[in-house]
């Protein structure tokens, strides 16, 4: 086995080095874009979950405040408006697929 200028592997196994580089690069680019898409989707889901969790906590605090105002006989119309807005926000939180 005599080595050529490309090296012994290329000389002795030339078929192993005959690959379609365009196809390889397209496959690698597609795989990388799929991975990026998955990471972005997971990140969007996580952000939406955190946003929804924060809205639910604010809604719970407003509900508690409304109950206290009801017991004390105070006006709670402002808190009801805020609660309604938060419910709308919670409905509008987009859930990525």
Residuewise pLDDT in 10s, the chain (97 residues): 555 566 667 667 766 666 656 666 777 778 888 888 888 888 888 998 999 999 999 999 999 999 998 888 888 889 999 999 999 888 888 665 5
Q: What is the DSSP letter of 55?
A: H
Q: What local confidence, expressed as pLDDT, does residue 18 receive?
A: 66
| Separation of alpha carbons 62 and 84, rounded Å | 10
Identify the domain containing residue 53 by its residue range: 35-97
> Is 90 part of a structural domain of the chain?
yes
Rg (CA), the chain: 30
Q: Which residue is listed with tokens 């017991």? A: 71
Question: How far is the CA of 52 from the CAs of 36, 38, 80, 87, 96, in angstroms?
Answer: 24, 21, 19, 10, 13
Average predicted confidence (pLDDT) for the chain: 81
> Is 19 part of a structural domain of the chain?
no
How many domains does the chain divide into?
Answer: 1
> Is 50 part of a structural domain of the chain?
yes
**pTM, full prediction:** 0.56
């Amino acid at each position: 086995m005599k080595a050529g200028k490309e090296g012994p592997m290329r000389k002795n196994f030339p078929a192993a080095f005959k690959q379609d580089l365009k196809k390889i690069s397209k496959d690698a680019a597609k795989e990388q874009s799929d991975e990026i898409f998955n990471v972005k989707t997971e990140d969007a889901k996580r952000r939406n979950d955190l946003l929804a969790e924060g809205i639910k906590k604010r809604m719970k605090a407003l509900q508690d405040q409304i109950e206290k105002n009801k017991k004390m006989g105070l006006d709670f119309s402002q808190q009801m408006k805020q609660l309604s807005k938060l419910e709308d926000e919670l409905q509008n939180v987009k859930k990525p697929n």
